[in-house]
């Protein structure tokens, strides 16, 4: 069961502790619990910090209210990271650009993203990047801030975009939508990613893999994504588990 899930929203899971206790008793590996609002970190650590397999990212999802109140919210986020117990926070995010939704202030959205990049630099932490329908804009921001390491989470673009993200030093993480019938481009891209830059995630409770599609996603569902990824890359599942664990440890958990 030693899977690694590099992106889950544990506080949104139904019966989260029942799920986690069963998984960890069965030998599940590590989980990165992701933040989406400026002041959720302390509560998530209080709720899930009891599990040694769970570590935390702190960030603000780019919803319009956060963009309009970005300076205050970024200051709250910084204070929460600063106040967290040592070793619990291992990444900044999720953060980034979402042009699938209506965003009335794209300049402000970029400023909020750049505030997260500044925090990643200040605390020497990797960045968890949310990018939807905004590949060119996301790459433009990241090019302006070289030297930041991180993850392009729930990857949704093609090989050419991945090539540039990789050149900038980022890891690429695939979620359960890799298994969807119309995700041929994602499967092609997964084959392209170098071994040392590949990560896998659930984005629980979102994007359940094909056999559970329509249900709330659970970290345990990641087995289906691993199975397909191993097949696509021509390796056995145990080797892939070791590879993903090593990549996650090097970037996040070591």
pLDDT tens-place string over residues 210-247: 999 999 999 999 999 999 999 999 999 999 999 999 99
CA dihedral 128, 132, 134, 137 (to 10 degrees): -10
Domain 5-253, CATH: 3.20.20.140
Q: Which long-range contacts (CB under 8 A, 24 or more apart) does 159-162 make?
A: 159/185, 159/188, 159/189, 159/192, 161/135, 162/189, 162/192, 162/193
If pLDDT is split at 50, 70 and 90, which confidence band does 158 have? very high
Per-residue pLDDT at 103 exceeds 90: no
Query: What's the pTM?
Result: 0.97
Let me know if 69 is exposed, middle or buried by CB neighbors in 10 A (0-12, 13-18, 19+).
middle
Summarize pLDDT for 19-61 with one digit per residue, the tens: 999 999 999 999 999 999 999 999 999 999 999 999 999 999 9
Per-residue pLDDT at 83 exceeds 90: yes
What is the reported pLDDT for 91? 98
Summarize pLDDT for 166-210 with one digit per residue, the tens: 999 999 999 999 999 999 999 999 999 999 999 999 999 999 999
Distance of CA 223 to the CA centre of its chain: 17
What is the reported pLDDT for 89? 98
Mean pLDDT of 79-94: 98
Q: Which two tokens stand for residue 207?
A: 């994007």
Residue 215 to residue 203: CA distance in whole angstroms: 13
What is the reported pLDDT for 251? 98
Per-residue pLDDT at 100 exceeds 90: no
Per-residue pLDDT at 73 exceeds 90: yes
Distance of CA 58 to the CA centre of its chain: 11
Asked whether 69 and 56 are in contact (CB, 8 A), the reply is: no
What is the reported pLDDT for 102? 79
Let me know if 217 is exposed, middle or buried by CB neighbors in 10 A (0-12, 13-18, 19+).
buried
Q: Could you tell me how many residues make up the chain?
A: 254
What is the reported pLDDT for 97? 97
3-state secondary structure of 54: strand
If pLDDT is split at 50, 70 and 90, which confidence band does 123 have? very high
Per-residue pLDDT at 104 exceeds 90: no
Asked whether 222 and 174 are in contact (CB, 8 A), the reply is: no
Asked whether 138 and 161 are in contact (CB, 8 A), the reply is: no
- The overall average pLDDT reported for the chain is 97
């Amino acid at each position: 069961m030693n899977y690694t899930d590099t992106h889950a929203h544990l506080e949104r899971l139904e019966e989260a502790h029942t799920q986690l206790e069963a998984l960890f008793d069965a030998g599940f590996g590590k989980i990165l619990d992701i933040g989406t609002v400026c002041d959720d970190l302390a509560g998530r650590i209080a709720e899930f910090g009891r599990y040694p397999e769970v570590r935390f990212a702190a960030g603000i999802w780019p919803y319009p209210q956060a963009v309009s109140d970005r300076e205050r919210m970024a200051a709250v986020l910084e204070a929460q990271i600063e106040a967290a117990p040592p070793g619990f926070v291992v990444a900044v995010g999720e953060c980034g650009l979402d042009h699938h939704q209506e965003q009335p202030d794209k300049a402000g959205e970029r400023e909020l993203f750049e505030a997260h990049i500044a925090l990643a630099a200040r605390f020497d932490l990797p960045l968890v990047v949310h990018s939807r329908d905004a590949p060119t804009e996301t790459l433009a921001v990241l090019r302006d801030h070289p030297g930041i390491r991180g993850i392009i989470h729930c990857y949704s673009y093609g090989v050419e975009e991945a090539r540039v993200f990789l050149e900038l030093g980022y890891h690429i993480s695939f979620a359960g939508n890799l298994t969807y019938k119309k995700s041929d481009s994602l499967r092609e891209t997964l084959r392209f990613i170098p071994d040392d830059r590949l990560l896998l995630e659930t984005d629980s409770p979102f994007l359940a893999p094909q056999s559970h599609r329509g249900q709330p996603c659970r970290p345990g569902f990641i087995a289906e994504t691993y199975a397909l990824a191993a097949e696509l890359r021509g390796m056995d599942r145990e080797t892939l588990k070791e590879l993903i664990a090593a990549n996650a440890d090097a970037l996040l958990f070591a």
